[in-house]
Amino acid sequence: MNIITSIREKFAQYKLKKLRKIERKRAYIDWNKIDRILLLYAINNASEAQSSMIYSELYEILDNCFDEKTSVRLVVYVNKSPIEQKRFNITVFDAKSCNALTYKPNLDILGIAEEEDSDVVINLSPTLSYPLEYLAENSDAKLKISVLKTGKGAKYDMYFSSESESVKEVFESIKYYLQKIK
């Protein structure tokens, strides 16, 4: 890691800590009572084939949730220029949409977290992505879940670790445990 990246990460961590002072109503929610989900994922340094496979798994998750009458908004951060998505419930953005010093996304992207009024935020990213951490921190969701516990990003209510590399399998495991909450 070079010095510039290290400095940018320190600025991002500082800005995220400032956002944490905002209180929200927290609750563990049964899967059957969830109406809206904000799903976050970062695709970094993936080949075209890997990206395509990840997108297909994310699409399956969206379709399964819609079949269950659950509204899902997917936000994907990519390190390359974004591939245009034809679905109405997907937002893809890259570093050009973020502050160069703090990684903070522009207001259009941040507005997604506020406008969605989600019950749950699920960050499925296997790597730390500060732009997505800002989205998670800005959301007023009652439950925030991440698959990566670093302590450097947003504050989540639940961390979920899995050996699986399949995004869909990880999501299904999270869903299983949320169904057990009563």
| HEC string for 27-82 | CCCCHHHCCEEEEEEEECCCCHHHHHHHHHHHHHHHHHHHHCCCEEEEEEEECCCC
| Euclidean distance between CA atoms 141 and 128, whole angstroms | 20
pTM: 0.87
For residue 158, count CB atoms less than 10 angstroms from its CB and return exposed for 0-12, middle for 13-18, buried for 19 or more.
middle
pLDDT at 75: 93
| Euclidean distance between CA atoms 21 and 78, whole angstroms | 28
| Euclidean distance between CA atoms 39 and 71, whole angstroms | 10
pLDDT, averaged in runs of 10, over the chain (182 residues): 80 75 72 92 85 90 93 89 71 89 89 84 91 89 87 79 86 91 70
**For residue 36, how many other CB atoms are within 10 A of its CB?**
16
pLDDT at 59: 92
